[in-house]
Amino acid sequence: MIPADGTERGASALLDTLHTVETPEGVRLELRTAGPVPRALAYAIDASIRWGVYLVVLMVLTTTLSSVAGPLMLLLIFVGEWFYPVLFEMFWSGQTLGKRVVGLRVVNDDGTPVTWASSMLRNLLLSADMVPGTYLAGLVSSLVSTGHRRLGDLAAGTLVIHASGVLNASGALPTAAPVEPPFRLEVGEQRALIALAERAALLSDARVDELAEVAEPLHADGVAARDRVLGAATWLLGRGDEAMR
Q: How far apart (Å, rounded) are the C-alpha atoms in residues 158 and 20?
A: 14
38 with 119, same domain: the answer is: yes
Helices (H) then strands (E): counts for the chain: 12, 4
pLDDT tens digits, one per residue of 59-117: 998 888 888 888 999 999 999 998 999 999 999 999 999 999 999 999 999 888 999 99
pLDDT given for residue 144 in this prediction: 85
Q: What is the pTM of this model?
A: 0.63
Among 109, 138, 167, give the residue marking a domain's end: 167
Number of domains forming the structure of the chain: 2
134 with 236, same domain: the answer is: no
Domain hosting residue 233, numbered range: 187-244
162 with 198, same domain: the answer is: no
141 with 84, same domain: the answer is: yes
Query: pLDDT at residue 155 above 90?
Result: yes
47 with 97, same domain: the answer is: yes
pLDDT given for residue 117 in this prediction: 95
pLDDT tens digits, one per residue of 194-235: 878 877 766 677 777 888 887 766 655 556 788 888 888 888
Average pLDDT, the chain: 79
Residue pair 33/148 in contact by the 8 Å Cβ criterion = yes
**Worst-scoring range by mean pLDDT, 84-98, 129-143, 171-185?**
171-185
Instruction: Assess if residue 52 is contained within a domain.
Output: yes
Residue pair 148/142 in contact by the 8 Å Cβ criterion = yes
Q: How far apart (Å, rounded) are the C-alpha atoms in residues 60 and 84?
A: 21
pLDDT given for residue 55 in this prediction: 95
Beta bridge partners of 27: 203
Q: How far apart (Å, rounded) are the C-alpha atoms in residues 152 and 118?
A: 9
Q: How far apart (Å, rounded) are the C-alpha atoms in residues 186 and 189?
A: 5
pLDDT given for residue 8 in this prediction: 39
Taking CA atoms, 68 is separated from 57, 59, 63, 138, in Å, by 12, 13, 11, 36
